[in-house]
Amino acid sequence: MFGLAAVVGVVLAGCSKNAGISAEKVIVEELQENIGLGTLDPECGQPEAYVAGETFTCTAATEDGRVIEFFGEMSDADTFNIVTSNLLTAEDVDAVRAAAAEALGPEVGATIDPAAIVCPYEIILLDETGDFTCEITDASSGDVYALVVSTGGIEPGVGVRKLDFEITEQLR
């Protein structure tokens, strides 16, 4: 597993037996600004029990209609952690670009500058496949190719499950 910081963690004490409502408040008041995708409209479920290890999920719609998924886990009866489960932060995207440059350099027989890899967004919401496409520029010719990044999704609390790269068709 690739250890990206693809999750945003929060601990909240005193959730007063309503972790879902507390999690919605944390998403709006603490995570929304850090995530950087504008105003979020969260909706959270409740854990079945308020004991360590019990889980619950949340979603938060962005202003442009995309959906961020969250995974919550009770630490004890009054505390939980909540993390994103489909979001790559700007730091994660930078790490993906650096990893792609390092992995693909030997394949093409040249050093690749991570700046030659441009991804569609600074922050990426993964779909169910966990794949997204960036562009990579051949420094010697200026040709631009599609670069498919496969993540296998995000494991809450761990990060990206895998990280594979494939240069596909020439775009220009």
Query: 36 in a domain, yes or no?
Result: yes
In 3D space, the residue among 72, 89, 85, 68 whose CA is nearest the CA of residue 11 turns out to be 72
Are residue 74 and residue 98 in the same domain, yes or no? no
Residue 53 exposed, middle or buried by CB count within 10 Å (0-12, 13-18, 19+): exposed
Does 18 fall in a domain?
A: yes
Residues 68, 29, single domain; the answer is yes
Residues 15 and 64 in one domain: yes
SS (H, E, C) 66-98: CEEEEEEEEEECCEEEEEECCEECHHHHHHHHH
Same domain flag for 82 and 59 = yes
- Say whether pTM exceeds 0.75: yes
Give the chain's domain count: 2
Give yes or no: residues 100 and 147 share one domain.
Answer: yes
Query: Does residue 35 lie in a domain region?
Result: yes
For 41-85, how does the pLDDT look when each residue is reduced to its tens digit (9 = 90+)? 999 999 999 899 999 999 999 999 999 999 999 988 888 888 888
Express as a percent the part of the chain with pLDDT over 90: 55
